[in-house]
Structure 1
Amino acid sequence: MSVERSRNEVWSLEQDTFLLNSVLRHLAGGSNQKRAFEEAAHEIGRTPGACAFRFNSVLRQRHNEEIRIAKQKINKLSEGTIIPLQQFINKNESVKNLNWEQVLSFLNAHILEENLMEQRYIDIQKQLNDTLEENRILKLELEYFKEVRKKIELFGVNINKMMDIFNQPL
């Protein structure tokens, strides 16, 4: 998707979606918005400043709930990792008594958990993209049917005028 864009080009739905998903992914992963803006800028051919402005002026208001949930995810993740680590240490009584196999086992379990969460995130992201695309198509269909309705109403008015003309005495 990396393409050079002109300064005044209108933001597309695809660019907005990529920018939003990038920010949500970075927030949920414990990163920050600045890194998300840099990543998105590289991919969509905008500057990080333009991405930051677009996100803060348009997308943040539209997607406030998703942003809140992404921020909560990192809080839950950090809470979830500290407790099992403490339990792991308590179970083994002393960090000094841990062997490499126990540490490796613990880390592998957390890597697996992280991979599962990443897969859930990817699934949700795909679902969001599908929903956004469906919404875009429905909006286009709505506009089409509004135009058809206007034409039918105009046609009906013209038929009524013609009937009035034919019904007038000569």
Structure 2
Amino acid sequence: MKVRQDAWSHEDDLLLAETVLRHIREGSTQLRAFDEVGDETNRTSAACGFRWNAVVRQQYEEEIKLAKKERKERKRAASYLPYSKPVQTITTEQSRELSLTDVIGYLQHLNRDDNQSDKLKKENEKLLKENLELLTKNKELESELEKTKKDHKVIEEDYQSLIQIMNRARRMAILQEDEPMSPSTFKMDKNGNLEKVAK
């Protein structure tokens, strides 16, 4: 019985995304993808489905569109495959002709398609993985940029406070030059700034 209740890791989310996108591309259902991920992560398929719909799906909208487009193109290509014509009744002589030429050609064609399909599948999976890594890196850089902006804002506010203190000190120095030398009394306001107390 699957009862895992710990938090989803980044790797779990990547596995879930890659598996669902692969199932979409191959014309399978998301439920099968959730079952597969559930088996690998020791979670229920319902938990995987909830995680996909609540958190992960929004991050992969573009990839989902591409996967659906690829699935559609595969179906279209499959409908145009040679030798996929409906079977006709044939005579014995025609049967001999088919077995010698057409069947060999058909088998060779299938073999070429399988090899090409495997290569395309591997390349596609590699590109998908690279794309997911780049998306992850992009999100990390965006969060770093946001943190840097906040830090910059704090520094800017501190700088403005320092300028105000220096201007206030300059005005006080000018006032002291104009007044005869007498002991001055200062008090601290609620912001921690010194102010001259009027006599």
How would you bin the TM-score normalised by the shorter chain?
Answer: 0.7 to 0.9
Size of the aligned set, in residue pairs, is 163
Q: Structure 1, unaligned stretches of length 5 or more?
A: none
Partner residue of 1:101 out of 94, 101, 104 = 104
The residue aligned with 2:83 is: 86
The residue aligned with 1:139 is: 142
CA shift, 1:65, in A, is 3.4
The residue aligned with 1:53 is: 50
Mapped pair 1:113 → 2:116: yes
| 1:112-143 residue CA offsets vs partner (Å, 9 max, x unmatched) | 12112202312321221231232133123213
Letter in 2 for 1:14: E
140-149 or 39-48: bigger deviation: 39-48
**So what's the TM-score if we normalise by structure 1?**
0.76
Q: Structure 2, unaligned stretches of length 5 or more?
A: 177-199
* Pair 1:5–1:58, CA change in 2 (3 A): same
Mapped pair 1:154 → 2:153: no
110-119 or 158-167: bigger deviation: 158-167
Q: Going by fraction, where is helix more abundant, 1 or 2? A: 1
Instruction: Quote the Cα distance in structure 2 between the aligned partners of 1:45 and 1:139.
Output: 32
Q: Percent identity?
A: 29
Instruction: Quote the Cα distance in structure 2 between the aligned partners of 1:44 and 1:138.
Output: 28
What is the 5 A alignment of 1:57-68? 57-68=54-65
CA RMSD of aligned residues (A): 3.0
Instruction: Quote the Cα distance in structure 2 between the aligned partners of 1:98 and 1:56.
Output: 51
CA shift, 1:88, in A, is 8.5
Larger radius of gyration: 2
**So what's the TM-score if we normalise by structure 2?**
0.67
CA shift, 1:71, in A, is 2.1
What's the secondary structure of 2:68's corresponding residue? helix
The residue aligned with 1:166 is: 169
